[in-house]
Chains A and B, each alone.
Chain A
């Protein structure tokens, strides 16, 4: 149970206030859940793989383990940083992302991996996470975010959204709802060699979409497949290094509303979140119809 938000600056070169915009939008629907908050934010792609792990307050051993795995896989550590409960490592790496990220999971919970992407998530509200991680200073091109009220699982940073598509770079999702055929789908994907790092059904959406992208499908096609294949109630947002998109289940049980201008597209659970971007303005918004999907791409 949660609120979601997403924004894409259509013509951005990477200097837009993505962090602050997401904070404002999520604060607008924080009443939907105060257990945890998360952000997946993008800046223009570079040649470095940006990794972020949850190592907790006492993470020295985990960090040493991470560094040894980096060395084993021929990754060069370029810079790193402890921030809150997380550890960020920028590396030069040219091998197989899936094997590499699966190996890294043995050291610590990998929550972000990408050439453009940084996922920051933790317990608490949007303001709490901003205070700990300085999210408001993130300048970039687009991003998605999430506020969460835990219903059946624990409150802990790794259970927060957004979810990285484990085994892939630059793909993240945020999700409102439940996937009722999660376990069946998960078993099928595990038989194909995928690994899942949480019991959260949202992680499956991310991996499912990323797998489609890897096989050459467009994001739009992947979203269409998801609507047909996944069972349950959901409104979710997905982001890649240059796109965001949504998919909505056939019953429209979870709210979603969007506003589009020449400069940006913003999507959220509630219009009050969109209005945080445009205070004092009456917005022309659209509520996506049940069973629909759409994507927006940044002009490059």
Chain B
């Protein structure tokens, strides 16, 4: 099947909204709350913070500190997966040092919720979130969507399949970063949705006409240079490249309803009962923080009523697959499969 859902047409299609995010009735939807309406934070909190997008998460935390002088916020930083493993090890040892865990990927969240360490969320937190992103014991903060950046000099949008699986059999040259964590999460989603055999065949098929890059920004830049026709990458690399180079020969296409347009998320959970950790979460979901991460980091706000980053179609026009994001924690079989077919 051919399709051409790309930036401009998606923006128009978004208004039709015959898509999964438009299903909830307006009456049941709560929107983002301003920090002006949130309680002051006071007391001690320890946050384990996975590496974020440059210093922007740090800016958010600094702003929260400045606004709440009675908050004593201790932060332990590290790779998200390593922090998740630390939390589990600490729990097994009967030690609890962290009150909150802010992870840059949902797989690590899954490790903690599966271990039963996350506390249930108050209902008002979940009710602010877009449909499909409401979970009982953790909340997404911002999202990122898998995309197909393509070279606009070498390719027109109508030549790109709207099925991720169809790309394995196409004659397009492809850039990918198999060692990259986001790519591996995407393959995990494909494995869960399509099965091991289909995923192995897809990896073999793409590998025949793919060029490897170290990271997904490298993929997008290779697409822009015309080294390959298209690539696999999270949306923000292309948007940031176009922000710095508006005439860049790259645009975004999306697949429909499969792992190729998976929306993954950063997320936060509480390991401690009480109001303070949940009130802290409310700051991250506030209208101001969501708008900041959207405009400055090009991340997708997942709270209702906050605009998506410039250059990305409305969330309502995207068709991510239905998938409990915590299942992306099951990475080991994915790595085994990728090694087995020779792409790692």
Answer yes or no: are A and B bound together in one complex. Answer: no
